[in-house]
Structure 1
Amino acid sequence: MIDALTLDQMRIFVAAVDQGSFSAAARKLGRVQSAVSQSIAALEANLGLALFDRSAKTPRLTRAGEALIKDARRVLQRADELKARAASIASDVEPELSFAVDPIFPHGPLIASLTALSAAFPKLPVTIFTENLGGSEQRLRDGVAQFAIAPMPLDSPRDLAADFLSAFDVAPVVSAEHPLAREPSPVSRATLEPYVQLVLTDRTPLTQNFSGGIVGHHIWRFADLSTRLEFLLAGFGWCNMPLHLVREHIAAGRLKTLELAERDPFQFRVHVMRMRGTEIGRAGRWLIDDLRRLIAACPEAYRAEPQPPS
């Protein structure tokens, strides 16, 4: 008889426990007391267990009732989540939001937007993949990410649709204790070449041959930004870094910006990419719009300080 269980019976069971009596549960649910009593009796019959001890004036939970009330609450919670998910899907909200983001994208606005997203879409599951270089594109091509927030590939594949999101200034930096920090400005390419350059490497085949920005003869490769930053701070070499990731270290004197003779202002231009023929759902569009708003509100956080004329 287990199949005869209904959500209504479990809601009445939980209401009777929470309200302390069958009569109070009936008032809470807007029903007559006899209907509440009959529903609980039917639930007990279906389960083959007595949930309440009725020997006293006010029914009390039996040991079986105490054990099953937790399960009943979980079942009702999952049922409510199912209904909320179905309502979201019916209103053009994707069943799950999954996207890839390059670690160069600033965490501050991303965290703020995701916090707001969880309030706007409280039942929406979210999966985030943080991938360097070609990793975000690879997640997109593998079909596990609905969109990617990352620099556009150099060859601009025709099967990718992309919308510009923002640009982040990049600067060559080195530990304040490194010999390069004591070189007079501007630093020539010949001066840079003997020193170790810390560069990112790709775990995917998409950008393994990428050599943009590499000028050193001695290269140390890293698979993630955070590890490279630790080695940069420890004085192992120099590298180009997004300014928003190192601005505090520069201000504190731990890192120094290098003024290069071959000055070529460089930016990471970040796009929202998706496979052509696919569309981003309502929650994804909401997140992207909020990110644009937050970044536009404080552009100075991601730009270099104006340089004096040479």
Structure 2
Amino acid sequence: MLSTDQITAFIAAAEHGSFSAAARSLNKAQSAVSHAIQNLEIDLGVELFDRSARSPSLTPAGKVLLRKAHALQQTRQEFIAQAASLNGANETEICLAIAQSVWDLPLLEVFREFEQKYPYVTLELLDPGSSDAAELIRSGRADIGLMMEQEIYPKGFRFSGIGYARLLPVCHPDHPLVAQQPVSHQQLRQHRQLLASNRNPDDRSHERHLLSPDLWRFESPHVMLEAVCAGLGWAFLHESVIREKHSNGELTVLQLAYQQVDAFQGIDVIWTEHKALGSAGQWLLNRLQAVRGNSPLPDA
């Protein structure tokens, strides 16, 4: 009969490339991992690994069954998390990681509803950079996150799109680009660009908007906004970040010659099945998935 230990050993060996490395990752003896995989092969009636070389490699059947093993493992984790959420217990504290660029969402309304429904549950709100919310969820530091969408999330993540944020090119009203509107790619490249960044060296999603070789990087969009208003360069910033400065005339939204429609970036609420939510956390997650953003700038 198949066991979860067999499935776990199979996945670990496939991901780490050897039985010894899999054993170290699982904090088990190599013999225990080898026996688990051998017994799994006997139970299934197929060879999962080719052991003819120094390091075992997946057989064609092993490659197919690895995908099924991942699905089985995820289903088990979801089953455990769902059972934990159905026990009726409320958490004493819930931690949310909310990226700075999504604060334009009507979150305070959600928090007021939450306070009335769960007055004895403490909320902790973290203020991470562009995509650092995902790392806080992965590490278990936060329970739920709100952030700009990523192309790929870590394994075990769940996400739900809740709308879009408009990304606008902006600069100081006295910046040379203002007199050159509508501006081209070439004109933008001739001036310093201020670019959003984050602490994850593997996440290069922010570079999709990189145009100028003269570049300054900022983790905080609000610090970058102040730099734009000080005339230190131009930048792509989310509408929610620039709203007040734009209405006060402290910055200008540039017209682009090469783009006829506005650029939009998705906003996701994220969580992981590895960490069970109680009834309060599940209510908050469901409520956040129903959130929608504000209307765009009227004169941008």
TM-score, structure 2 normalization: 0.64
Task: Please give the alpha-carbon distance, in whole angstroms, between the structure 2 residues aligned to 1:177 and 1:229.
Answer: 15
Equivalent AA in structure 2 for residue 249 of structure 1: K
Q: Is 1:303 equivalent to 2:299 in the alignment?
A: no
- The 1:189/1:155 distance shift into structure 2, 3 A limit, reads same
Match of 1:235 in 2: 231
The Cα shift of 1:130 comes to 1.3
Between structure 1 and structure 2, the one with the greater Rg is 1
- List per-residue Cα deviations over 1:237-288 (Å, max 9, x = no partner): 1111111221232233221111112216322211111123444433234334
Alignment counterpart, residue 177 of structure 2, candidates 168, 175, 180: 180
Alignment of structure 1 residues 137-148 onto 2, 5 Å: 137-148=134-145
The Cα shift of 1:148 comes to 1.3
Task: Please give the alpha-carbon distance, in whole angstroms, between the structure 1 residues aligned to 2:180 and 2:285.
Answer: 43
The Cα shift of 1:107 comes to 4.8
Alignment counterpart, residue 116 of structure 1, candidates 103, 108, 113: 113
Equivalent AA in structure 1 for residue 246 of structure 2: I
Match of 1:216 in 2: 212
Alignment counterpart, residue 258 of structure 1, candidates 249, 254, 260: 254
Q: Is 2:161–2:289's contact at 8 Å kept on the other side of the alignment?
A: no
- The 1:245/1:107 distance shift into structure 2, 3 A limit, reads same
What residue ranges of structure 1 are gaps of 5+ in the alignment? Answer: 1-88
Q: Is 1:128 equivalent to 2:125 in the alignment?
A: yes
Q: Is 1:198 equivalent to 2:191 in the alignment?
A: no
Alignment counterpart, residue 163 of structure 1, candidates 160, 164, 170: 160
**Count of residues paired in the alignment:** 215
Task: Please give the alpha-carbon distance, in whole angstroms, between the structure 2 residues aligned to 1:293 and 1:162.
Answer: 13
TM-score, structure 1 normalization: 0.62
Q: Is 1:133–1:202's contact at 8 Å kept on the other side of the alignment?
A: yes
The Cα shift of 1:181 comes to 1.4
Task: Please give the alpha-carbon distance, in whole angstroms, between the structure 2 residues aligned to 1:284 and 1:108.
Answer: 19
What residue ranges of structure 2 are gaps of 5+ in the alignment? Answer: 1-85
- List per-residue Cα deviations over 1:192-244 (Å, max 9, x = no partner): 10111111221233415751101011111112111111111111111111112
- The 1:137/1:112 distance shift into structure 2, 3 A limit, reads same
Secondary structure at the aligned position of 1:198 is classed as strand
Q: Is 2:140–2:275's contact at 8 Å kept on the other side of the alignment?
A: no
Task: Please give the alpha-carbon distance, in whole angstroms, between the structure 1 residues aligned to 2:218 and 2:147.
Answer: 18
**Could you tell me the percent identity over the aligned residues?**
21
Q: Is 1:165–1:272's contact at 8 Å kept on the other side of the alignment?
A: yes
The Cα shift of 1:143 comes to 0.8
- List per-residue Cα deviations over 1:162-191 (Å, max 9, x = no partner): 111221111111111211112132x10110
Task: Please give the alpha-carbon distance, in whole angstroms, between the structure 1 residues aligned to 2:235 and 2:188.
Answer: 10
Secondary structure at the aligned position of 1:211 is classed as helix
Larger RCO of the pair (alpha carbons < 8 Å, separation 6+): 2
The Cα shift of 1:289 comes to 4.4
Q: Is 1:109–1:291's contact at 8 Å kept on the other side of the alignment?
A: no
The Cα shift of 1:294 comes to 5.5
Task: Please give the alpha-carbon distance, in whole angstroms, between the structure 1 residues aligned to 2:89 and 2:264.
Answer: 35
Secondary structure at the aligned position of 2:207 is classed as coil
Task: Please give the alpha-carbon distance, in whole angstroms, between the structure 1 residues aligned to 2:200 and 2:141.
Answer: 15
- The 1:305/1:158 distance shift into structure 2, 3 A limit, reads farther
Equivalent AA in structure 2 for residue 195 of structure 1: H
Equivalent AA in structure 1 for residue 119 of structure 2: P
The alignment yields a C-alpha RMSD, in angstroms, of 2.7
Task: Please give the alpha-carbon distance, in whole angstroms, between the structure 2 residues aligned to 1:302 and 1:284.
Answer: 28
Q: Is 1:226 equivalent to 2:219 in the alignment?
A: no
Equivalent AA in structure 2 for residue 93 of structure 1: N
Task: Please give the alpha-carbon distance, in whole angstroms, between the structure 2 residues aligned to 1:140 and 1:108.
Answer: 20
Secondary structure at the aligned position of 2:101 is classed as coil
Equivalent AA in structure 2 for residue 239 of structure 1: A
The Cα shift of 1:108 comes to 5.9
